[in-house]
Amino acid sequence: MGLLNTNIWQDHDSELARISYSARMLYLLRGAICLDRMELAKRLGVTWPTASNTAEKLQKIGALRTVAQEAVSETGSGKSSYSLMVNPDYGYFVGISIGSSEIKLVVLDFNFDPLSKVSLQDYLCFYAESEGNPVVFDWRKYLMQSDATTNGYIKIPTPESAERFSATINQIVNGLIAADINQQNQSPSTAKHLLGIGFAFTGAVDVENKTVTESFNLPFLRGISYKTLISPSNREYLESQNITVSFQHNAKTVAIAEKYYLQKNNSPLGESEDIVSIYLGTGIGCGLILNNRLFTGTKNYSGELGHIPLLIQSNKAITLEEYIRIYVFGESDFDTYRKMKLSQLREILNQSVEAQKHFSQALGYAINTVATLFNPSLIILSGKLSELASTCLDSIYSYQFSALPYVFDSYKLQISEQGICSPAIGAAMYAFYARYDINVQF
């Protein structure tokens, strides 16, 4: 019965991409508490009948629902009006970020809200063990909660070989499949379908072919693709249930998440049309939102900020990533560096004035580079090293050397509000755009 209901639901969902203005309407409603059709028509720039027709079709397939609101007239009498909102339980998107040191997983509902730790625990099939079934993937020892919110996420150390990496990813996918099957066994009114899984990788990513073209920080990822990474049995299930799988670069997914939540949270900075997100992890990259669109470059290879030479030493270029690893944290071996915990890195900075100076110089150089090249109105620092950067912003500003000082009057600098889960959150959002074949624009 669950499969029959799922097939009917899939037929409905396939209509979503064909509904005119559907993507824009969902975007507007995700960023608001609720809107009536007249206001939606105004914001969409279309006639009321067009907006109403779009809303009715989205309601019919279950993507929207109505909310009764009590409006008080001038005479004091109550009158009910009906507004629209995104149905958060229409389906879920999973985001999985593959960093040099950690894999992180989040689940977003259809309103792009991350599941809380409690809801994530319920969704990820902890029921399996209690029913005497073999545990597909024991999520419990990896389940975390955001320091600033109740949002839940999974954190797993990144394996050190292609074989172990593939095994770990397929264990995770097995668990997600088990969760989806569990949902299919629910009644149609409560089932939460898995719509997509978005992967965010460190390295150069071929989005169209779902392939990691190159990965300097995790060499075993080089050439890995959807077909070689996901096992045949898992692919068979994902494809039979029309579950989208997308690949994207982690710095670009950060840009998507940061821009989206600035607007959703009604931040004045959300109006920024040109944003650069600098991802400061073991590797360093930047994601670009230019003219309110995700900028990718010709082959999606833009943003490799960490591989720009910072200085030349003995006829050898020292890149930004290498400079931070060697001169700030004193580690020549990359594998040792990528395993260092944030607490260890913080201790090094706290104990060395020289390390603080080199760190501020390196970040000042990075910020100066993107500010001069792209003239953004907002630069966002994210990733684990951004937590260290937040304590030395004044000294970072002092190292922003430029022959064009007026550039620095046109942008604001801030630390990510989404924290270490930003790449995974953006990956889940990107899976939505990939599923419905929508360009990433705001």
The DSSP output letter for 216 is: S
Q: Which residue pairs, CB below 8 angstroms and at least 24 apart, start in 89-92?
A: 89/190, 89/192, 90/62, 90/63, 90/193, 91/13, 91/192, 91/193, 91/194, 91/195, 92/123, 92/192, 92/193, 92/194, 92/195
The structural domains of the chain, ordered by start, are 2-86 (1.10.10.10), 89-252+423-435 (3.30.420.40), 266-416 (3.30.420.40)
Q: Read off the tokens for 303.
A: 């943003």
Q: Considering the chain, what is the average pLDDT of its residues?
A: 86
Q: Say how far apart CA 359 and CA 150 lie, in whole Å.
A: 32
252: tokens are 């670009």
Check pLDDT > 60 for residue 4: no
pLDDT at 330: 92
Q: Are 408 and 372 in contact (CB under 8 A)?
A: no
Q: Between 22-30 and 37-44, two packed helices, what is the crossing angle to 10 degrees? A: 110
pLDDT digits (tens, 9 = 90+) for 141-184: 888 887 667 789 999 999 989 999 999 999 999 999 989 988 88
pLDDT number for residue 80:
47
Are 60 and 84 within 8 A, CB to CB?
no
189 pLDDT more than 80? no
